[in-house]
Amino acid sequence: MLIAEDERMLADSIAEGLRAEALAVDVVYDGDAALERLGVNDYDVLVLDRDLPVVHGDDVCRAVAESDALVRVLMLTAAVTVPARVDGLRLGADDYLTKPFAFEELVARIQALGRRARPAAPPTLERGGIRLDPSRREVYRDGRYVRLARKEFGLLAELMRADGAIVSAERLLEKVWDEHADPFTNTVRVTLMKLRRKLGDPSVIETVPGAGYRIP
Asked if 108 and 150 sit in the same domain, the reply is no
| 75 within 8 A of 98, measured Cβ to Cβ | no
Q: How much is the mean pLDDT over the chain? A: 86
Same domain, 130 and 108: no
> What is the spatial order of strands in the sheet that 45-49 belongs to?
26-28, 2-4, 45-49, 72-77, 95-98
Residues 8 and 106 in one domain: yes
Q: Among 83, 117, 151, where does a domain finish?
A: 117
- Number of domain units in the chain: 2
Claim to verify: residue 90 and residue 173 sit in the same structural domain: no
Q: Which domain CATH number covers 202?
A: 1.10.10.10
Full residue range of the structural domain in which residue 33 is found = 2-117
Of the candidates 4, 14, 1, the residue with the CA atom closest to the CA atom of residue 60: 4
> What is the four-CA torsion angle of 200, 206, 207, 209, rounded to 10 degrees?
150
Q: How far apart are CA 176 and CA 140, in angstroms?
A: 20
- 117-155 per-position pLDDT tens digit: 565 555 788 998 999 998 778 999 999 999 998 889 989
110 and 189 inside one domain: no
159 and 187 share one domain: yes
pLDDT, tens only, 12-45: 999 988 888 778 899 999 999 999 999 888 888 9
